Structure 1
Amino acid sequence: MDEKLKELEKQYTEVPIPKELDFVVENALKQGKKKRKNRAPQWLLGTAAAAMLFTAGLNVSPAMARTLSDIPVVGSIVKVLTWTEYKVAEDTYDADIKVPAIENLENKKLADTLNEKYRSEGKALYNDFVAEVDYVKGQGGGHVGIDSGYEIKTDNDQILSIGRYTVNTVGSSSTTMHYDTIDKQNEILITLPMLFKDDSYIKTISENIIEQMRKQAASDPDKKYWVIGGGLPDDEVIDGFTTIKADQQFYISDKGKLVISFDKYEVAQGYMGIVEFEIPTDVLKNELVSSKYIH
């Protein structure tokens, strides 16, 4: 077993890391030229008492792969699985980071680009965790935790939407979500701007979300958003929500609806966590390029 773990560690340290974690995938596909670093980065093993478990390298351990009961199968070809898992359990320091991988896409460049991004993000999260643990220990100790993984938001004949979540706990907690939505039939990555004729969608979606916030707050006293009329006293709405970003996090639901996602604290108080809004298609129909994805 020790030899197998060493081999997994060796293979993982040799994974090339893209220069930027948040690069634009579709541009790389169009250019067909993505420079990758050949230098193997220094691997941080973490604090001495930390227990680190590699779960994956499916080409190395098929038996491990067969035990992953939560692997969703996309259609009859494409599948999403756990490529690697980092686990650390040491007193008040805990990490569980699951790194997804997409397999069997015929568009190898798209699959490779996404998988490199996922591996890079996972490695960066682990390295940041190790650095934070070292810092907190130097300050006398405390609690540091990270829980990161993925969930399949949509899996049908046309659309695969993967959500990757990260919960950081250092004193208080923060939660973020990042989505990738793939057209499985044409094997392309779908971005928010490409769904619309021009950038007028930003205003349309933002106005609808604010309307939804106010309606929710009026009917449910537990819903409180950072907008005027969103359930909070006006004087507490400072730097409130006014507009989505052009590349706001989103996914396409199984029913073909556009769902806009906000991280914890982004548009509401922390207790509300991740907040999502389904945008009615009737609101979007004049801005949509077509009804192929959103209908």
Structure 2
Amino acid sequence: MNKELDRLKNEYKNVQIPKELDVIVGKALKNKPKKKQLYIWPTSAAAAAVLLTVTVNFSPDAARAISKIPVVKEVLEVITFNEIKEEKDHSSIDVKTPAITGLENKTLEENLNKKYVEESKKLYEKFTNSSSSQKGYLSIDSDYEKVTETPAVLSIRRTIQRTEASGYIQNQYISIDKEAQVLITLKSLFKNDEYVKVISENIKEQMKQQMKADSNKLYFITEEDMEPFTQIDPNQQFYISGDYKLVIAFDEYEVAPGYMGAVEFKIPTEVISDLLVGDRYIH
């Protein structure tokens, strides 16, 4: 085990997540290297020119440093902060940790980045615990992508896939108002809690229509199902699409059998228009 990996493990153990993170991020994020470390940097010239002069370590100090990197004003970027790739015994891990740069709201930027670091830390702990116990094969993979970027909104999806006896895919989303420099939560889009019932009924109707049109599709909505879908969580995972529509997302197995994967539903705006606070994000 090389010294660099030992250093990384020690830093993982000492990651401190600020108490105010739950206030800023909690409503939007639902919580339900052996041989080599890889550092992958952004391709944009402005960001790369700065990052070439900075040594980034996988630590809270580095996360804080990222938020202070001078970037071109109004350029909001999502970069790979760190990639951990390791194989040991019959287990493997390949986790890319995203980082957001360019937000003027540095408190939000720093806390979102620390949240990503904490998630990666937990994934790495699962990997090391599995390797040390030698109970069987475990594969952990995590990547991210910008699913939407408009002049007003940036939506990011982080995908985590764990494979043991079977696979499990979990998607986590955040949406940021680029101009107001705030995190967009599902609740913040609506006047009151009625959205939970209205969106849930629309999703169940979409499920029925899909199953009627395609016999290969199946959702857990009947009384015979062990845990039938009844309604979304008030803080259900979501993102805002490029055509300004609300998309509700579910993890694998959450509302459908595993072969359906992680599913999502685009909600027709006319169904929720009377409940929306405004039409800035959804119209």
| Short-chain TM bin | 0.7 to 0.9
Q: 1:114 aligns with which of 102, 108, 112?
A: 112
Instruction: Return the alpha-carbon distance in structure 1 between the equivalents of residues 236 and 253 of structure 2.
Output: 15
Q: 2:154 aligns with which of 160, 163, 168?
A: 160
Partner of 2:172: helix, strand, or coil?
strand
Q: 1:280 aligns with which of 268, 272, 281?
A: 268
- Residue in 2 that maps onto 1:25: 24
Whose relative contact order is higher, 1 or 2, with alpha carbons under 8 Å and at least 6 apart?
Answer: 2
Instruction: Return the alpha-carbon distance in structure 1 between the equivalents of residues 72 and 269 of structure 2.
Output: 26
Instruction: Return the alpha-carbon distance in structure 2 between the equivalents of residues 116 and 7 of structure 1.
Output: 21
Aligned letter for 1:262?
F
Aligned letter for 2:39?
T
- Residue in 2 that maps onto 1:175: 169
Q: Does 1:60 align with 2:59?
A: no
Aligned letter for 1:258?
L
- Residue in 1 that maps onto 2:251: 263
From the superposition, tell whether residues 255 and 271 of structure 1 become closer, same or farther in structure 2 (CA, over 3 Å). same
The answer to whether the 8 A contact 2:12-2:121 is kept is no
Instruction: Return the alpha-carbon distance in structure 2 between the equivalents of residues 182 and 273 of structure 1.
Output: 26
Instruction: Return the alpha-carbon distance in structure 2 between the equivalents of residues 8 and 78 of structure 1.
Output: 30
Aligned letter for 2:276?
L
Partner of 1:148: helix, strand, or coil?
strand
Instruction: Return the alpha-carbon distance in structure 2 between the equivalents of residues 291 and 86 of structure 1.
Output: 41
The answer to whether the 8 A contact 1:250-1:260 is kept is yes
Shift of 1:54: 3.9
Q: Deviation per CA, 1:143-199: give whole Å up to 9, x if none.
A: 110001111110121110001111011111111111000000111000000000000
Q: 1:195 aligns with which of 189, 198, 201?
A: 189
Partner of 1:290: helix, strand, or coil?
coil
- Residue in 1 that maps onto 2:64: none
The answer to whether the 8 A contact 1:21-1:121 is kept is no
The answer to whether the 8 A contact 1:8-1:54 is kept is no
Instruction: Return the alpha-carbon distance in structure 2 between the equivalents of residues 273 and 265 of structure 1.
Output: 7
For the aligned residue pairs, the C-alpha RMSD in angstroms reads 2.9
Q: Does 1:128 align with 2:126?
A: yes
Structure 2 spans left out of the alignment, 5+ residues:
28-32, 42-50, 57-70
- Residue in 1 that maps onto 2:232: 244
The TM-score with structure 1 as length reference comes to 0.78
From the superposition, tell whether residues 23 and 132 of structure 1 become closer, same or farther in structure 2 (CA, over 3 Å). farther
The answer to whether the 8 A contact 1:209-1:277 is kept is yes
Aligned letter for 1:221?
S
- Residue in 2 that maps onto 1:209: 203
- Residue in 2 that maps onto 1:95: 93
Instruction: Return the alpha-carbon distance in structure 1 between the equivalents of residues 106 and 10 of structure 2.
Output: 20
The answer to whether the 8 A contact 1:110-1:188 is kept is yes
- Residue in 2 that maps onto 1:104: 102
Aligned letter for 2:37?
L
Q: How many residues align?
A: 252
Structure 1 spans left out of the alignment, 5+ residues:
29-44, 62-72, 229-233
Instruction: Return the alpha-carbon distance in structure 1 between the equivalents of residues 92 and 40 of structure 2.
Output: 20
Q: Deviation per CA, 1:250-291: give whole Å up to 9, x if none.
A: 000011100000000000000011100000000001110111
